Chain A
Amino acid sequence: MKRIRGISSALKRQENIVTKDKHLSLPGKVVLPLGYPHVEMSPLVQVGDRVFAGQQIGEDQNGVLPPLRASISGIVSEIKPWLGYSGHMVLSIVIESRSEDAEETNSEKLEDKTDAQDILKLISQAGIREVDDHAWPLALRIAKPEIRLQHDSDDQSPSLAQPIEILIINGMDRQPGISVRRRALSTREKSLLEGIAILQKVSGAKRNILTVYKDYPISGDFEKGLKELGVEIIRCPNKYPIALEPILVKFVTGREVTRPTWDTRMVGTVVVDVITALRVLEAVRDGSTTFETMVQVSAPSHGLDVYVHTPEGIVLEELLGRLLTVDIRISKAIVGGAFLGYAQQDLQVPITQEMDAVILQAGDEFSPYANHSCISCGDCVRACPMRLLPNELSKYCEYDKFEEAEKADLFSCIECGICAYVCPARRPMVQLIRFGKSEIISAREES
């Protein structure tokens, strides 16, 4: 373990805010994107069809992405491209809620299935999607080489054929201001132990680790339970971006994940966050295929900070409408957190499993970027967790010197945003770096 670079996670914490849980009733409609901008799935339903909560409504023909399942019962009203949270259009299925249709669907349950292969099948069919970006979807990533999923056996990636040595259960939140994982960890310790046991069985890892922040209080019972499962607790510094996969793996195991795939299986390691571990348990133990997502909605200027439990696919406008009793003035709505999220142009974005936070900012809260030249102070160089020279990269991208930028390891950048956070000249570092990356990628596609 070594010192990590970054910034303290305990940023501007307002002590007077009491964070509560809030369970929302069924939304009027949900929007469920079919995959992602470059990996789309095909719909299994048509407009006008009746669907039940948990029913599979989309599949990936390549068999990589987990199936898409309806989060509520109702009628498919539209299938059309919808603006996703990162600003790309994705073909999405819109379901209008019909409460009279709500009924229990038959789902497979574990019962007496204890075979790792069967457990894996349940996990892969549950449609679990994650907040973190991983090289492989959950079911492929956590499976030991002996229990490959059938449809995947013909073109097995070499990294997936390697045994899993280390399983990291990550109890740390991705970025400052978000605490959903700590919340899940502290409220559902017992379930988490069961979830970890399942993951241990499927992964066959020799070493099991739970990572938490240094100041996180672990109860005696939980500690005992972890000991029984053979899980070590590793306490990490309370520093952003420790919870991001490449940095976490490097910190905990000393192994370096490499680009361009950032595939942790190459170094025999798997990272699963605690919320995903709990979903795995629900899928296996209860046969649950309908997911409530937990999203933290905070408006620091209004003292609002709530963990909202809602069926996935609820549109942000409806979510806020239910949540906010008073009309508050919002000038920026950020989905996905203050460092890794995206500011939205309207409130039509669906809140899916990939999102753990919504931040609402008022007019006086933002930090506008400036069109100032780099003053070469080097603050970003000393803060960059990937040991890059962001000052140089931003200059290369600003002046269209993309080849030089690529040679200077532009693609090692994980866009954590620390350089922009510390920049005294307020340069839009992430913007410049993303611009450079997209220019290089489109130039490659043309040639």
Chain B
Amino acid sequence: MKRPEFYVSVSPYMHSGNSIQKIQFQTIAALIPALVAGWFFFGWPALKIVAISMIAAIAAEFIWQKALGLPVRIGDGSALLTGLLLGLVLSVEVPWWLPVLGAFVAVLIGKQIFGGLGNHPFNSVLVGWSFVQISYKELMQYFPAPEPAFLIEPGEYLIDTPLITLREEFDMIADVPWLDFFIGNVPGTIGTVSVLAVLLGGAYLLSRRIITWHIPVSFILSAWIFGCIFWRIDPDMYADPTFHILSGWMMLGAFFLAPEKGTAPVSAPAMILYGVGCGVLTMIIRMWGGYVEGVPFAILLMNSLTPLLDRIRPRAAGRTREIA
């Protein structure tokens, strides 16, 4: 008798079809508007920096996994996303080797050394970024003025990024139309400059349920409220909170960096606390810290609290209560 051959596996026998690749590539797709905005305002060099960063990140992951005899997983899009995000948080005026260095640090020290995707405690992009930021501070401080490719006039109000201007010439901020901040017509990094473009990507992520509303909303809202308190106390010392929301890394941080899987908490109350922590720390660093931009360090600090926040858990159903 010829017996049919059957595969035996464990339940369930269906799958939602979601995969790591899908998550990573949808996140990459969500960053396309930000990349296009970077090209629109800063021209082709923007794409060059991003491309170098992406290629370097994939190379780093490939070399590491080959060297250690691990299965090569560059196809899952994780290294690609790391490279893309790293490129987007750099200025177009950095030398070509800087994104290469940053991407290697991000992938190797930020992620692979801990065992790869899901095991790293800190946002790998920010690990790479902080390394180059701290090591090559002089090279990271030049931000060109925007030169929109067509349609709109270049914003000529600022010669430095809004947050640097805020520190140095506080009064100039009030002259800049908010529309310039919103569409990104100010100096800044490739991907963070346009709030509109990042918001488009963020909305896509929310609609695809890759991220939930908890972290971005609590991040931005708490930063706004915290800023608002000090602005109401002394508007000559502290900037309008809406300016803070529309400037710097705020949107990219809230939608793409802070909710990175693996480094953010997973349950709803913990995510809200995490977002509030990110928002408040960002404002503290921006207002009184040594760095003009608070988002990256605020996220890194909150990353270190994630294991603690993950201990906030709902009461499991069916847990035996005391029976009198």
Chain A residues at the B interface, C-beta cutoff of 8 Å: 7, 11-12, 176-177, 246-247, 250, 256-260, 262, 330-334, 338-347, 359, 361, 366-369, 372-379, 381-382, 385-389, 391-392, 408-409, 412, 415, 417-418, 420-426, 428, 430-431, 434
Contacts and interface: CB of A to CB of B under 8 A. Distances in A.
B317 A368 contact: no
Given A338-B12, A389-B313, A330 B320 contact: no
A7 B118 CA distance: 24
Contact of B13 (A258, A343, A376, A412): A343
A422 B319 CA distance: 24
Among B5, B10, B317, the one with the most A-chain Cβ atoms within 10 Å of its Cβ is B317
Nearest to B118: A375
Interface stretch (B15-23, B157-165, B289-297): B15-23
Given A259-B318, A386-B318, A378 B14 contact: no
Given A376-B262, A381-B267, A341 B11 contact: yes
A7 B16 contact: yes
Nearest to A359: B13
Given A262-B318, A344-B6, A424 B12 contact: no
A346 B318 contact: no
30 contacts: A176-B14, A256-B317, A256-B318, A259-B319, A330-B6, A331-B7, A332-B8, A332-B13, A333-B6, A338-B12, A339-B14, A341-B11, A343-B13, A346-B4, A369-B9, A376-B261, A377-B266, A378-B267, A381-B267, A386-B316, A387-B317, A388-B316, A409-B319, A412-B318, A417-B12, A421-B16, A424-B18, A424-B19, A430-B10, A430-B12
By DSSP majority rule, is chain B's interface helix, strand, loop, or mixed?
A: loop
A343 B115 contact: no
B119 interface: yes
Contacts of B3: 346
A258 B22 contact: no
Contact of B23 (A340, A382, A424): A424
Given A330-B6, A381-B267, 17 more contacts: A11-B14, A12-B14, A256-B317, A258-B319, A334-B13, A339-B12, A343-B6, A344-B6, A346-B4, A375-B262, A376-B266, A378-B265, A378-B267, A381-B266, A386-B318, A392-B310, A421-B12
Interface residues on B, range: 35 or more
Nearest to B5: A331
B11 A246 contact: no
Contacts of A412: 316-319
A377 B23 contact: yes
Contacts of B13: 332, 334, 338-339, 341, 343, 359, 361, 366-367
Contacts of B268: 382
Contacts of A339: 11-14
Among B9, B313, B320, the one with the most A-chain Cβ atoms within 10 Å of its Cβ is B9
A376 B118 contact: yes
Given A246-B318, A373-B116, A374-B118, A379 B18 contact: yes
B130 interface: no
A378 B261 contact: yes
Contacts of A418: 12
Contact of B11 (A12, A340, A375, A409): A340
B117 interface: yes
Contacts of B118: 373-376, 425
B267 A246 contact: no
A389 B119 CA distance: 17
A250 B319 CA distance: 13
A361 B18 CA distance: 20
Nearest to B14: A338
B75 interface: no
A338 B9 CA distance: 11
A1 to B, nearest CB: 15
Contact of B267 (A250, A257, A369, A389): A389
Contacts of A334: 11, 13
A341 B22 CA distance: 28
7 A-B pairs with the lowest CB-CB distances in the bound complex, closest first: A378-B266, A367-B15, A375-B118, A417-B12, A409-B316, A431-B10, A377-B261
